[in-house]
Chains A and B, each alone.
Chain A
Amino acid sequence: MLNTSSGEAGYLSLLLALAIVILAAKVFAEDPAVAEASPSPVRTLVFILVQDRDLERAMNALTSVGARCTRLRSRGGFLGQSGHLLLVGVGEGQLPGAMHLLEQVCRTRVEYVSAPLEAIPGPMPAPIAVQVRGATVFAFDVERHEEFGL
């Protein structure tokens, strides 16, 4: 009797563990960040222009989803601010996921700078709201993609 019930409990717990594993696998498969780790043929080449300050977060975000990126130094045309151009190859249907991640790390935001104006006397210059633009993204269709030496 005792034997049977402990065997039953063992069987039940095994079933429960199996159910948890299946459920977890399903949840992870639906998570875009995890789903993107699986390699698929590159269909789109994305040019991402990011500011210096967003570079680390943008690259970490892209690396975390398994996208390989190449970085080039660049300079903005208007203010001449230093930035980076990232070249990222993404697979079919992976662009929305990558953009979603990127949106979180380099979106448009308002920052306050206190510019010391010598023309205006006073103890403290008033902070000026400055809109800091997020990343600029261009996506191109890739006709052909080749990896050499793999």
Chain B
Amino acid sequence: MKLVILIVGDGEADGIASKLIEAGFRLTRLASSGGFLRRGNTTLLLGMPAEKVDEALGLVRAALASVTDPGSRRGTAFVLDVAHYEQL
């Protein structure tokens, strides 16, 4: 299992989240803000099997590429290994 931590702009979060959910990913949304400009953004937490990481990041990349405002196309992803995962 992997944990993907995804940080995207507030305006893009909805579109990205719905694309990921459509593809069967489950996610948790957290309101956050950037450190430098202190603008609002959204942090998404996604747990997934290792082999799904490429698909998820591909979806995010595609969703961000279709955003019209070039300044809002930015996003950050961290992929961490999960020692133990359980869905209760």
Residue ranges of A at the interface with B (Cβ–Cβ < 8 Å): 42, 45, 59, 62-63, 67-73, 86-89, 140-150
Q: Is B55 an interface residue when CB atoms closer than 8 A count as contact?
A: no
Seed contacts A72-B30, A149-B74; 9 additional CB < 8 Å A-B pairs: A68-B35, A70-B7, A71-B38, A86-B35, A143-B81, A148-B60, A148-B61, A149-B73, A150-B74
Contacts known (A62-B35, A71-B35, A148-B61); A42 close to B74, Cβ less than 8 A: no
How distant is the Cα of A56 from the Cα of B31 in the complex, in angstroms? 19
Contacts of B5 in A (CB 8 A): 45, 87
Take A70-B7, A87-B43, A141-B81 as given contacts and tell me if A146 and B31 are in contact as well, using a CB distance cutoff of 8 Å.
Answer: no
Provided the pairs A45-B5, A68-B36, A87-B43 are in contact, do residues A145 and B79 lie with their beta carbons within 8 angstroms?
yes
What 0/1 pattern do residues 62 to 88 of B give for CB contact below 8 A with A? 001100001001111111110000000
Number of interface residues of B (CB under 8 A): 29
Interface majority SS (helix, strand, loop, mixed), chain B:
strand
Which of A72, A145, A147, A149: most chain B CB closer than 10 A?
A149
The verdict on B57 contacting chain A, using a C-beta distance below 8 Å, is: yes
- Cα separation A147 to B64 with both chains bound (whole Å): 11
User: Chain A binding site: helix, strand, loop or mixed by DSSP?
Assistant: strand
Q: Which residue of B lies closest to A147 (CB)?
A: B76
Q: State how many angstroms separate the Cβ of B30 from the closest Cβ of chain A.
A: 5
Q: How far is the CA of A68 from the CA of B34 in the complex (A)?
A: 8
Contacts of B81 in A (CB 8 A): 141, 143
8 A–B pairs (Cβ distance < 8 Å), ordered by A: A45-B80, A67-B35, A68-B35, A70-B34, A71-B35, A72-B30, A86-B35, A145-B76
A67–B76 alpha-carbon span in the complex (Å)? 13
With contact pairs A148-B64, A150-B74 given, residues A141 and B80 touching in the complex (Cβ less than 8 Å): yes
